């Protein structure tokens, strides 16, 4: 459809929520247009989020392994070096290949792609400021807002993407900082801190809260923090940044205890601000339309993703729920299924969460703290990777599987894995929870030997009985 023709569905935003919704809508036979201002598709995730961070995590892990692990495996060489620009080029190649891939998928599925900034004129019309300076009107019976999120700024801390960077700047540094201070111990801060720590930066993480990654199971979190400390990451918890001075060569941060008290200074070459993300709806014209948002700017939607304005929907990071790419995708599919008159479904209790450090930490379902809070009697089964043959064979055995199951029925309530590739291992557990499996169901499922996955089976055994290998 040319811009101006009536569409069944118009999607504003081409991130994982928006582009997946657009493709699914087209597959359901709906005439669909997707509007994206960035110049490339894939949103935060592909351009400045999930994908470039995982590229750098992998490259930096290879360097770290070559330096610290290879000798144990009898692989020796001299003169190990980092070519940062080659590392960045490989990351950029991954990103551009994938974003172009989505353009290909749009063509294949006959989704019209309009580049430019979208603004509501009415509940069924969007004006687009196109990159050539012109404008177009795109009409649609149903309009989906998938405009995602942006970096949350901290009062008094101005991001210049050079000395004081957001995650976007931290993905594109041109030099390895000697000292990196990370403000915020969420998964983005820990992942980016890991990248630069592995490449040689001294990393200090300053966090206002008493804990890192607050959503994580407490016991796993403690072990995880110890792991990161072993990798020389330093933590200053219950600490707040109250001042920033960039007048000198580096950055001087003034910090004080979260509860108030004596101030001190912390020096850095680069400061990463990773204190969360906020929904992005700037310039969209929501007020004009009367679309309701909550206190923190998230668009309010009903069970079918419709806002209070009929025909206008919202999905992904711009609505409540975990700000994760796969959650945005699930929203997108379910939303267009509803639009097409079918049933859509997202189980928000079973969205897996992964921190892609080394080891990775992955979880699904409830933490032990959450299970306790429900008051239900439960059992815990644990199995350490130190007792897993594959982990020992590859000499990468730091980590644990922890399974929580209801005492009476043995139904699995939550699974938490810390290990290399935990982000892959977790999906067996996601499926188990999705199907309402018991821990005995997992334990009686044959797992190939020798694999890391056997640790999941043994933790399941430990939940209602005894594991074999410990």
Q: Which residues contact 132 (CB under 8 A, 6 or more apart)?
A: none
The region of 10-18, 205-213, 265-273, 447-455 touching ligand FAD under the rule CB under 6 A is: 10-18
CB atoms within 10 A of CB 324: 20
Active site residue 469: no
The region of 63-71, 132-140, 318-326, 399-407 touching ligand FAD under the rule CB under 6 A is: 318-326
Q: Flag whether 4 is marked binding.
A: no
Among 7, 32, 33, 44, binds ligand FAD (CB under 6 A): 44
Q: Identify the residue whose tokens are 């990196």.
A: 180
The region of 288-296, 304-312, 317-325, 364-372 touching ligand FAD under the rule CB under 6 A is: 317-325
CB atoms within 10 A of CB 253: 23
Residues of this chain, 184-243, that bind ligand FAD according to CB under 6 A:
188
Q: Which is nearer to ligand FAD, 24 or 390 (CB)?
A: 24
Here the tokens at position 426 are: 């977790």
Q: Which is nearer to ligand FAD, 35 or 334 (CB)?
A: 35
Asked if residue 344 binds ligand FAD (CB under 6 A), the reply is no
The region of 48-56, 211-219, 358-366, 404-412 touching ligand FAD under the rule CB under 6 A is: 48-56
Q: Which is nearer to ligand FAD, 3 or 437 (CB)?
A: 3
Among 8, 11, 14, 217, binds ligand FAD (CB under 6 A): 14
d(CA 239, CA 308) in angstroms, rounded, equals 40
The footprint of ligand FAD on this chain (CB under 6 A) covers a number of residues equal to 36
The region of 15-23, 67-75, 222-230, 255-263 touching ligand FAD under the rule CB under 6 A is: 15-23
Q: Which residues contact 108 (CB under 8 A, 6 or more apart)?
A: none
Half-sphere exposure of 309 (CA within 13 A, CB side): 22
d(CA 367, CA 219) in angstroms, rounded, equals 9
Q: Which is nearer to ligand FAD, 99 or 225 (CB)?
A: 99
Q: Identify the residue whose tokens are 């000499």.
A: 395
Q: Which is nearer to ligand FAD, 145 or 459 (CB)?
A: 145
Q: Identify the residue whose tokens are 């490339």.
A: 40
Residue tagged active-site, from 68, 73, 345, 449: 449
Residues of this chain, 61-120, that bind ligand FAD according to CB under 6 A:
117-118
> For helices 16-27 and 325-339, what crossing angle results, to 10°?
30
Q: Which residues contact 303 (CB under 8 A, 6 or more apart)?
A: none
Site string for ligand FAD, 430-469 (x = CB under 6 A): ----------------------------------------
> For helices 187-198 and 50-68, what crossing angle results, to 10°?
40
Residue 325 to residues 40, 332, 352, 423: CA-CA distances in angstroms?
17, 11, 11, 14
User: Nearest approach, Cβ of 131 to ligand FAD (angstroms)?
Assistant: 11
Site string for ligand FAD, 128-147 (x = CB under 6 A): ------------------xx
Nearest CA to 35 among 135, 122, 123, 109? 135
Q: What is the DSSP letter of 152?
A: P
Asked if residue 307 binds ligand FAD (CB under 6 A), the reply is no
Q: Flag whether 207 is marked binding.
A: yes
Here the tokens at position 451 are: 């694999």
Q: Which is nearer to ligand FAD, 7 or 147 (CB)?
A: 147
Residues of this chain, 159-188, that bind ligand FAD according to CB under 6 A:
167, 188
Among 207, 269, 317, 337, binds ligand FAD (CB under 6 A): 317
Q: Identify the residue whose tokens are 């040689």.
A: 200
Asked if residue 326 binds ligand FAD (CB under 6 A), the reply is yes
Q: Flag whether 190 is marked binding.
A: yes
Among 99, 149, 194, 419, binds ligand FAD (CB under 6 A): 149
Among 55, 138, 284, 422, binds ligand FAD (CB under 6 A): 284
Q: Flag whether 188 is marked binding.
A: yes
Residues of this chain, 346-385, that bind ligand FAD according to CB under 6 A:
356
Here the tokens at position 249 are: 């060569």
Q: Which residues contact 413 (CB under 8 A, 6 or more apart)?
A: 365, 366, 371, 376, 378, 404, 405, 406, 433
For residues 284 and 147, the answer to whether their CB atoms sit within 8 Å is yes
- The full DSSP string for 402-438 is EEEEETTT-BEEEEEEEETTHHHHHHHHHHHHHTT-B
d(CA 26, CA 332) in angstroms, rounded, equals 12
Here the tokens at position 111 are: 């989704």
Among 10, 26, 45, 443, binds ligand FAD (CB under 6 A): 45
Direct distance between the N- and C-terminal alpha carbons of the chain, in angstroms, rounded to an integer = 63
Among 63, 70, 208, 280, binds ligand FAD (CB under 6 A): 280
Residues that bind ligand FAD (CB under 6 A): 12-18, 35-38, 43-45, 49-50, 53, 117-118, 146-149, 167, 188, 280, 283-284, 316-317, 323-326, 328, 356
Query: Binding-site residues, please?
Result: 54, 118, 147-149, 184-191, 207, 276, 317, 323-326
Query: Binding-site residues for NAD(+), please?
Result: 184-191, 207, 276
Active site positions, annotated:
449
């Amino acid at each position: 459809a040319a811009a101006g023709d009536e569409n069944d569905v118009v999607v504003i935003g081409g991130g994982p929520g928006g582009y997946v919704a657009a493709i699914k809508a087209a597959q359901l036979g709906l005439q669909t247009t997707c509007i994206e201002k960035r110049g490339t598709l894939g949103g935060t995730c592909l351009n400045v989020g999930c994908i470039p961070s995982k590229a750098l995590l992998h490259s930096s892990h290879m360097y770290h392994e070559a330096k610290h692990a290879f000798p144990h495996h009898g692989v020796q060489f001299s003169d190990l070096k980092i070519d940062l620009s080659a590392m960045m080029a490989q990351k950029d190649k991954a990103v551009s290949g994938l974003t172009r891939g989505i353009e290909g998928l749009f063509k294949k599925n006959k989704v019209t792609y309009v580049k430019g900034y979208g603004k509501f004129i009415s509940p069924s019309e969007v004006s687009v400021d196109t990159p050539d300076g012109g404008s177009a009107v795109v009409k649609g019976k149903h309009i989906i807002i998938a405009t995602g999120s942006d970096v949350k700024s901290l009062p008094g801390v101005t991001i210049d993407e050079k000395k004081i960077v957001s995650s976007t700047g931290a993905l594109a540094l041109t030099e390895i900082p000697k000292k990196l201070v990370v403000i915020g111990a969420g998964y983005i801060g820990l992942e980016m801190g890991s990248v630069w720590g592995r490449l040689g930066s001294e990393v200090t993480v300053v966090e206002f809260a008493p804990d890192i990654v607050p959503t994580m199971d407490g016991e796993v979190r403690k072990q995880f923090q110890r792991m990161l400390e072993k990798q020389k990451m330093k933590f200053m918890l219950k600490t707040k940044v109250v001042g920033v001075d960039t007048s000198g060569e580096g950055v001087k941060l003034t910090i004080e205890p979260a509860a108030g008290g004596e101030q001190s200074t912390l020096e850095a070459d680069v400061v990463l601000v990773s204190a969360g993300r906020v929904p992005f709806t700037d310039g969209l014209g929501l007020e004009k339309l009367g679309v309701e948002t909550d206190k923190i700017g998230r668009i309010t939607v009903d069970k079918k993703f419709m806002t209070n304005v009929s025909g206008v929907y919202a999905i992904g990071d711009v609505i409540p729920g975990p700000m994760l790419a796969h959650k945005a995708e699930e929203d997108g599919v379910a939303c267009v299924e509803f639009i097409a008159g079918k049933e859509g479904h997202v189980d928000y209790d079973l969205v897996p969460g992964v921190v892609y450090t080394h080891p990775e930490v992955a979880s699904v379902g409830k933490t032990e703290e959450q299970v306790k809070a429900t008051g239900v009697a439960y059992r815990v089964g644990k199995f350490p990777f130190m007792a897993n043959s594959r982990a020992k064979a590859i000499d990468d055995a730091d980590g644990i599987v922890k399974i929580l199951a209801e005492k009476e029925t043995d139904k699995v309530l939550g699974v938490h894995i810390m290990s290399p590739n935990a982000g892959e291992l977790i999906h067996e557990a996601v499926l188990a929870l999705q199907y309402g499996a018991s821990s005995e169901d997992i334990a009686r499922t044959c797992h190939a030997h020798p694999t890391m996955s056997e640790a999941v089976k043994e933790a399941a055994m430990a939940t209602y009985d005894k594991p074999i290998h410990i």
